[in-house]
Amino acid sequence: MAKKILIGIGTLALAALPLLALAQVPTATMSNCCKLKHIVGTYAVDACIAEPGATACLSKGTTLTCAAITTTPDWGGYCTMDTVYTVTDWIFWIFLAFVVIMGVWTGFMFMSAGGDPGKIEKARGMIVYLVIGIIVAVIVKLIPALTRSIIGI
């Protein structure tokens, strides 16, 4: 059961990754900038990255307050990278929470096995899924670096 849940969550996470490119499509009517929530390239947290020629930071009809606006032709890439960081952070913490819950459940199964070899084998098998969950969480944290190298930011 745990294997099916882990495979399902991993499949959904990987299937959703291509949609990240559509998360912040730069359009003139929607927005001309974004306020970063992560460090992307040389830009710090809370930096406003805008399209060339922008004098105000308008994002989805709202004016963002920024100390300074940095204009760059690649502003959409920086905004997309910020979204990739946000999504992968969420996926990482969800997997980590899942691993902790499964670890507690596995410990309970070991404690309640009472020397039954079948129950002990089942608990040992769950340890494999714990390790797989940790590996997937670490791989998710590597996705932003891979994305940065692909889009060249």
Alpha carbons 148 and 142: distance in angstroms, whole number: 10
Instruction: Return the pLDDT at 123.
Output: 87
Beta bridge partners of residue 31, listed in sequence order: 59
Alpha carbons 120 and 135: distance in angstroms, whole number: 23
- Model confidence over 79-95: pLDDT tens digits? 888 888 888 889 899 88
Mean pLDDT across 125-141:
88
Residues 151/116, Cβ–Cβ less than 8 Å: no
Instruction: Return the pLDDT at 52.
Output: 82
Residues 104/128, Cβ–Cβ less than 8 Å: no
Instruction: Return the pLDDT at 101.
Output: 92
Cα angle 75, 138, 8 (rounded to 5 degrees) comes to 95
N-terminal to C-terminal alpha carbon distance within the chain: 41
SS (H, E, C) the chain: CHHHHHHHHHHHHHHHHHHHHHHCCCCCCCECEEECCCCECCECCCCEEECCCCCCCEECCEECCCCCEEECCCHHHHHHHHHHHHHHHHHHHHHHHHHHHHHHHHHHHHHHCCCCHHHHHHHHHHHHHHHHHHHHHHHHHHHHHHHHHHHCC
Query: When comparing pLDDT for 46 and 6, which is higher?
Result: 46
Is the overall model pTM greater than 0.75, yes or no? no
